[in-house]
Structure 1
Amino acid sequence: MDRGTGAADASRVSFRWDSTRPAASPGGFDAFSREWRARLGDGLPLTAFSPATTDDFRVKGRIVKLRDVVLADFRTASPLRTAPAPNGDEDWVQMFLVRRGAWIIDGSSGSGAHTVSGGQFLLRHGGRLADYETAPHTVAQNIILPGGALKPLLGGRTIKGPADGAEVRLLVAHANMVHSTVADLSPAGVQAVRGTLIELAKAVAMRRFDDVEPLLAPALAQAAKDFADRHLTDPELSPTMLARQLNVSVRTLQRAFAATGEPVTAYIRRRRLEEARLALTAPSGLSISELAAHWQFADSSHFNRAFKKRYGQTPTEYARPAAVLPAD
Structure 2
Amino acid sequence: MRPTTRHREDFWAEMTWMLFGGLHLSQVRSASFEVERTGQLIRQSDPDGYQLSVSLRGDSHFEQRDRYVAAGPTDIFLYDTSRAFRAATVVAPADARPGPDGRPMYPADGLIVHIPRNRLPLPAARVERLLAVSMTGDAGVGAVLLGTLKQLIAQSGSISDIGASTLAGVVLDLLGALLTERLDMPPRLDNERHTALFLCMRMFIEENLSDPNLSLSDIARAHHVSLRSLHKVFERSGTTAAAWIRRRRLDRCRLDLANPALDRVPVHNIARRWGFVNDSHFNRAFRAEFGVSPAAYRRHGSAMSAGVG
TM-score (norm 1): 0.37
Which protein has greater RCO, CA pairs closer than 8 Å, 6+ apart? 2
TM-score if structure 2 supplies the norm length?
A: 0.39
